[in-house]
Structure 1
Amino acid sequence: MKLGFIGTGNMAGAIMGGIIKNKIFRPEEIIGADISPAGRERAKETYGICVTDNNREAAEKSEVLILSVKPQYYADAIAEIRDCISDDQLIITIAPGKTLAWLEEQFGKAVKIVRTMPNTPALVGEGMTAACVNQYVAEEEKEYALKILSSFGKVEIVAEHLIDAVVAVSGSSPAYVFMFIEAMADAAVAEGMPRPQAYQFAAQAVYGSAKMVLETGKHPGELKDMVCSPAGTTIEAVRVLEEKGFRSAVIEAMKACADVSRNM
């Protein structure tokens, strides 16, 4: 096996799907370990990978190992596999709050670690992932990790002290965006639009607006001003959002999110 997963949940599945679709690895080159029989069977049926209930088996058979369990299970998972991790294996982590220093301490030896923070849009190939590496990862190994991570969206190297900001701005933010879409759809329904159509209009508006930011390179404020005609409908909506503390609510929510990440 070339690639292993400990944990085969939604994020692991998104990564597997991107990797297989982009032919980074073949399904038979991937092994996933999960204590849940249902989780193992789902991964096997969906992606055609090899599965096991033994974390050590996944670790021993992998050149690159992705730890995709919840943060609270990281210490136990690492304790189970650390004595079978070799010097040339690459470990990729996706847990908020688990720093490179903490991870190295858990392994208790020199281990090549790539710490990452992906997000759930990876499920549709539009993820945004931040990555940082420890001192044992060579340049070519870092590039190899980035190739894997870019198979399900975009990836950027960031300084480790920015990971908590990444959690707030991309890791957790799909939830805020989904709430925004839901709220806009609710308002459209209140105006008489059928709900399925309301979701379609709201989601496409968010998608298209995000694409404009990414592709035009214009400042979001400039793009907002382009929509706001004098004495028009949009500027009135913007006025109400400002009156209700829209920007402040988003900023405070993200600060709270980063604080929780920082203290996990």
Structure 2
Amino acid sequence: MAEIGFIGMGNMGYALLKGVLKEFPAEKLIFTAKTSETKLRVHAETQVVYAESNAECANNCKYVVLAVKPQYYPTVLKQIRYAVTPDHVIISLAPGITIASLKETLGSDRRIVRAMPNTPALIGEGMTGLSYDAEEFSQDEIDMVHRIFGAVGKYADVEERLMSAVVCASGSSPAYVYQFIEALADGAVQFGLPRAQAYAFAAQAVAGAAKMVLETGEHPAALKDKVCSPGGTTIAGVAALESAGFRGAILKACEACYEKSEGIK
């Protein structure tokens, strides 16, 4: 019997599987996917065995990672309802689907962890928010959940009521960062820098700036001020961003993201 099972092999399911393979041997893992083509491809790439159905996958592991899109949850939960037991640890990756709603479908004695990872998990640089009732799990089980998500980056435990805020801060935000890098590169290309170099300069600037925030512990505003020399090029650019509503646009994006996650819109 395997230890960790993955239901769904989209971007996030695949990223987690690849990351966990750094910590666990292939024989400790099992997965399933929607199509036979995906099952065969992932098995060939990872040597992890696959199950023919979602129920079979759940039956053959203790930790069940639900890595399917929210719209597929009703179908998947129906398929595994009688396969999961109170001994399982069910890890849900879907935004907006609460622990209470999952218990309502699967059973009140089912033990569930909500997780919100992001796509940089594909390269081991993910950030995951985790929410669960610690009283329902042993310390070994909590350690295992942390180990799974530590294999693809960093993680932090948060209250469940804050999970939609986590979606804003890290779950969806890589897309905004990619837009920023693309726009920054376009600006450099406009003035003659070759496209490939423009992407390299812009992406490394973002990576380096993020690392400065994480490693120095300084407030982002203080780090920004250190780059803005009086009367210089950077403060001119910052002023232009402010006049164009840069920060307001980010706040609007977070508001839209939060409302979608909460089912408000």
Query: Which band: TM-score by shorter chain?
Result: over 0.9
Match of 2:157 in 1: 157
Specify the code of the residue in structure 2 equivalent to 1:102.
S
Match of 1:213 in 2: 213
Q: How far apart in 2 are the matches of 1:102 and 1:10?
A: 25
How many residue pairs align between the two structures? 262
Equivalent residues of 1:96, 1:167 under 8 A apart: yes
- TM-score for the superposition, normalised by structure 2: 0.96
SS at match of 1:97: coil
Cα shift readout 1:156-192 (whole Å, capped 9, x = no counterpart): 0000111001101100000000000000001111110
Q: How far apart in 2 are the matches of 1:262 and 1:79?
A: 23
Match of 1:73 in 2: 72
Specify the code of the residue in structure 2 equivalent to 1:71.
P
Shift of 1:82: 1.3
- Compute the RMSD of aligned alpha carbons: 1.1
Equivalent residues of 1:6, 1:33 under 8 A apart: yes
Q: How far apart in 2 are the matches of 1:202 and 1:257?
A: 25
Moved more, 32-41 or 96-105: 32-41
Equivalent residues of 1:130, 1:158 under 8 A apart: yes
Cα shift readout 1:2-39 (whole Å, capped 9, x = no counterpart): 11111111111111111112x2x211221111121222
Match of 2:90 in 1: 91
Q: How far apart in 1 are the matches of 2:87 and 2:107?
A: 16
**Structure 2 residues without counterparts, runs of 5 or longer:** none
Shift of 1:232: 0.2
Q: How far apart in 2 are the matches of 1:101 and 1:87?
A: 15
Specify the code of the residue in structure 1 equivalent to 2:67.
S
Q: How far apart in 2 are the matches of 1:168 and 1:109?
A: 29
Shift of 1:150: 0.8
Q: How far apart in 1 are the matches of 2:107 and 2:84?
A: 11
Match of 2:11 in 1: 10
Shift of 1:152: 0.4
Instruction: Map 1:132-211; keep pairs closer than 5 Å.
Output: 132-134=131-133, 135-211=135-211
Shift of 1:43: 1.5
Q: How far apart in 2 are the matches of 1:136 and 1:76?
A: 26
Match of 1:122 in 2: 121
Identity of aligned residues (%): 47
Instruction: Map 1:215-234; keep pairs closer than 5 Å.
Output: 215-234=215-234
- TM-score for the superposition, normalised by structure 1: 0.96
Equivalent residues of 2:6, 2:17 under 8 A apart: no
**Structure 1 residues without counterparts, runs of 5 or longer:** none
Equivalent residues of 1:133, 1:142 under 8 A apart: no
Specify the code of the residue in structure 1 equivalent to 2:12.
M
Cα shift readout 1:198-248 (whole Å, capped 9, x = no counterpart): 000000000000000000000000000000000000000000000000000
Specify the code of the residue in structure 2 equivalent to 1:69.
V
Moved more, 204-213 or 32-41: 32-41
Equivalent residues of 1:110, 1:136 under 8 A apart: no
Q: How far apart in 1 are the matches of 2:175 and 2:40?
A: 28
Moved >6 Å (runs of 4+): none
Equivalent residues of 2:9, 2:32 under 8 A apart: yes
Specify the code of the residue in structure 1 equivalent to 2:36.
P
Shift of 1:108: 2.3
Specify the code of the residue in structure 2 equivalent to 1:77.
V
